[in-house]
């Protein structure tokens, strides 16, 4: 009964708009806080850190969709995965723009030198570059153009993105010997990855059996 009610809620026409509004809420908060001067004594740092935090949060939420679908049997959850992935890229771009604008004054030379000089900046820039093709192909036309197999292979870049993003955050906090928060994100992503490996190894039907059934 509860499962059927959850399915109806996930399929409701308002479900996607509500998720969209919820995902946009952090951005609205940043805009409002900047407008009323509520970002604290260092607004630039608050925006850079805040957009980075939300990038990692949306990355974790996006990676959690498949395990949650497998655990609950609610296939309707997949309706939201693409949107959540695009919001991950959206906040990643905001994070990069805040860094480039506030720290580097949008100077390409300074940005390039900083990327080469500081490994944690390089890791973050790599994560954003890896997300770009995922965002660019998160549309039905791109799926049809690439074909399902090649599209799925390309979108495995999300795992490399997660690694680069976590490395960026870890190295950034390492300068201050503050590993508590990065460790939480690493633990969350590790659990999500281990679930995928376990489910693929022990819960997924053997390929031969699947092909036989399909035939």
- Give the tens place of pLDDT for each residue, 85-95: 999 999 999 99
139-191 per-position pLDDT tens digit: 889 989 999 899 999 999 999 999 999 999 999 998 788 899 999 999 999 99
For the residues 113-126, what does the mean pLDDT come to? 96
**CA atoms of 58 and 88, how far apart (whole Å):** 5
The answer to whether residue 136 scores a pLDDT higher than 80 is yes
* Beta carbons of 172 and 120 less than 8 angstroms apart: yes
- Rounded Cα distance between 60 and 133, Å, is 19
pTM summary value: 0.91
Kindly indicate the confidence band of residue 2, based on its pLDDT and cuts at 50, 70 and 90. low
Query: What integer pLDDT is reported at residue 56 of this predicted model?
Result: 97
CB neighbours (10 Å) of residue 199? Answer: 14
- Rounded CA-CA distance 62/79 in Å is 11
Distances (CA, A) of 73 to 7, 65, 132: 9, 11, 30
């Amino acid at each position: 009964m509860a499962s059927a009610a959850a399915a109806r809620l996930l399929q409701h026409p308002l479900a996607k708009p509500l998720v969209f509004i919820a995902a946009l809420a952090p951005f609205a908060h940043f805009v409002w806080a900047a407008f009323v001067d509520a970002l604290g004594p260092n607004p630039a740092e608050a925006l850079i850190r805040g957009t980075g935090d939300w990038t990692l949060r949306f990355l974790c939420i996006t990676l959690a969709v498949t395990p949650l679908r497998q655990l609950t049997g609610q296939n309707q959850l997949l309706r939201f995965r693409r949107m959540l992935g695009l919001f991950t890229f959206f906040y990643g771009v905001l994070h990069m723009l805040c860094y480039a604008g506030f720290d580097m004054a949008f100077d390409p030379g300074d940005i390039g030198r900083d990327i080469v000089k500081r490994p944690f900046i390089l890791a973050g820039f790599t994560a954003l570059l890896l997300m770009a093709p995922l965002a660019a192909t998160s549309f039905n036309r791109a799926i049809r153009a690439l074909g399902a197999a090649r599209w799925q292979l390309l979108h495995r870049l999300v795992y490399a993105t997660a690694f680069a993003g976590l490395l960026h955050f870890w190295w950034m906090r390492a300068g201050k010997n503050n590993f508590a928060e990065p460790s939480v994100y690493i633990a969350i992503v590790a659990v999500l990855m281990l679930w995928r490996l376990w489910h693929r190894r022990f819960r997924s039907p053997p390929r031969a059996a699947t092909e036989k059934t399909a035939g």
